[in-house]
């Protein structure tokens, strides 16, 4: 069976790998130029040896299925343990760890967090820089055609036997709205519309001559601007330079999106907050980059791992980071569960 997956985040790639291993042909369509979604890595223009994990800074595992995947990545030398605790700032004082959070292993990638997406992509055909704008269910009208037609921005179409939509809920809603037949999606479309996302800015800073900070990461609470500060140079050498990734909180980013603030203004306010947290040295950086994550983390999510829709002869399913939780682990489990469900279901035909 030819299966089309929209979105090359960890959900889509995980489902794709499972289905491809079972003998199905899997094609993944991704609008950006890289794999992994929030498991993203940016390289500096002036020094390609300096990497920033500007999306999800790490992964962790509670569920046995995720633990098995983490172990696989460790064996392949893709993941390595990074930290058991992160520093914690409560808005007033900086602590060596969060007083109410037990130790838990957080893992990072020596070669950047997008190495996870690159690894998962080996089993499937990924078409990068390929934007899907909608899909068409041919249903009873089809004769020799496949039941689903994926419509690309270039006006090209791609026929598949089964369809998986593995994009953020907001984008999934838009794709359904652009489909030629919304009838089968009516039971779920209202639920999808309730899922909102917390946006954030990721500010990447490089210091050529600064002393190495003594923290790996700082989670911030009660800070009007910041939510996270990550020391990327505690993951890898970064050519001897200090590299920080600074995340804003959702309220700060929403405010600046609403008033259409310039990137320069956003960066200035984030650096000012960072100097208050770390000291004046944090404002003396040599290079900077700013990235906006509009769909950083869902603030509301479904109560199940995936949504299956349509007839068995023309299956379609929704998976992603808004299923069962908000973490990378939940996104992985969404794709994992659908992949295994379809392997069993499609083998019965």
Per-residue pLDDT reduced to its tens digit, 228-241: 999 999 999 999 99
Q: Fold for 42-115+196-298, please state it.
A: Polyamine Oxidase; Chain A, domain 2 (3.90.660)
* Per-residue pLDDT, 259: 85
* Per-residue pLDDT, 140: 57
pLDDT tens digit string along 9-60? 999 999 999 999 999 999 999 999 999 999 999 988 788 889 999 999 999 9
Q: In the predicted model, is pLDDT for residue 107 greater than 70? A: yes
Closest by CA to 39, choosing from 340, 331, 323, is 331
* Per-residue pLDDT, 185: 87
* Per-residue pLDDT, 264: 95
Contacts of 213 (CB under 8 A, 6+ apart): 231, 234, 242, 244, 278
* Per-residue pLDDT, 64: 98
pTM: 0.94
What gap in Å lies between CA 74 and CA 63, rounded to an integer?
A: 16
* Per-residue pLDDT, 260: 85
* Per-residue pLDDT, 179: 83
Mean pLDDT, to the nearest integer, of 125-139?
A: 93
Q: Fold for 2-37+119-194+302-347, please state it.
A: FAD/NAD(P)-binding domain (3.50.50)
Q: In the predicted model, is pLDDT for residue 100 greater than 80? A: yes
Mean pLDDT, to the nearest integer, of 285-295?
A: 95
Closest by CA to 55, choosing from 134, 128, 117, 119, is 117
Sequence-distant contacts of 272-280: CB under 8 A, at least 24 apart: 272/225, 273/223, 273/224, 273/225, 273/226, 274/205, 274/226, 274/229, 274/244, 274/246, 277/89, 277/94, 277/218, 277/220, 277/223, 277/226, 277/229, 278/213, 278/229
Tell me the domain boundaries of the chain: 2-37+119-194+302-347, 42-115+196-298
Mean pLDDT, to the nearest integer, of 176-196?
A: 84
Confidence of residue 349 (pLDDT cuts 50, 70, 90): low
Contacts of 267 (CB under 8 A, 6+ apart): 203, 288, 290
What gap in Å lies between CA 179 and CA 257, rounded to an integer?
A: 29
Confidence of residue 312 (pLDDT cuts 50, 70, 90): confident
- Give me the chain's average pLDDT, please: 93
* Per-residue pLDDT, 348: 72
Q: In the predicted model, is pLDDT for residue 136 greater than 80? A: yes
* Per-residue pLDDT, 299: 85
* Per-residue pLDDT, 45: 79
Confidence of residue 141 (pLDDT cuts 50, 70, 90): low
CA-angle at 3, arms to 166 and 317, nearest 5°:
40
């Amino acid at each position: 069976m030819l299966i089309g997956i929209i979105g090359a985040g960890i959900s889509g790639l995980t489902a794709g790998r499972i289905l491809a291993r079972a003998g199905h042909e899997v094609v993944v369509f991704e609008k950006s130029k890289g794999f992994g979604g929030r498991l993203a890595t940016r390289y500096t223009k002036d020094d390609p040896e300096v990497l920033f994990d500007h999306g999800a800074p790490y992964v962790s595992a509670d569920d046995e299925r995720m633990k098995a995947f983490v172990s696989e990545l460790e064996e392949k030398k893709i993941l390595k343990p990074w930290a058991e605790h992160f520093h914690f700032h409560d808005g007033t004082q900086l602590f060596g760890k969060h007083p109410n959070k037990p130790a838990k292993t957080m893992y990072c990638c020596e070669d950047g967090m997008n190495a996870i997406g690159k690894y998962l992509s080996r089993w499937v055909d990924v078409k990068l820089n390929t934007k899907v704008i909608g899909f068409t269910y041919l249903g009873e009208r089809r004769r020799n055609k496949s039941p689903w037609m994926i419509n690309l921005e270039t006006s090209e179409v791609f026929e598949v036997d089964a369809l998986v939509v593995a994009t953020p809920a907001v984008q999934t809603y838009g794709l359904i709205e652009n489909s030629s037949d919304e009838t089968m999606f009516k039971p779920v479309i209202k639920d999808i519309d309730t899922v909102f996302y917390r946006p954030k800015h990721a500010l990447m800073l490089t210091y050529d001559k600064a002393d190495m900070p003594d923290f790996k990461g700082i989670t911030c609470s009660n800070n009007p601007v910041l939510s996270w500060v990550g020391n990327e140079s505690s993951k890898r050498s970064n050519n001897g330079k200090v590299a920080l990734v600074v995340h804003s909180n959702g309220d700060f980013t929403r405010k600046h999106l609403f008033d259409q603030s310039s990137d320069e203004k956003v960066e200035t306010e984030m650096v000012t907050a960072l100097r208050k947290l770390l000291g004046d040295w944090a404002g003396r950086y040599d290079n900077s980059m700013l990235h906006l994550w509009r769909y950083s983390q869902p603030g509301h999510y479904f109560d199940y791992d995936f949504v299956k829709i349509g007839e068995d002869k023309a299956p379609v399913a929704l998976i992603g980071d808004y299923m069962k939780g908000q973490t990378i682990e939940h996104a992985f489990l969404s794709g994992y569960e659908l992949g295994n469900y379809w392997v069993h279901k499609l083998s019965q035909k």
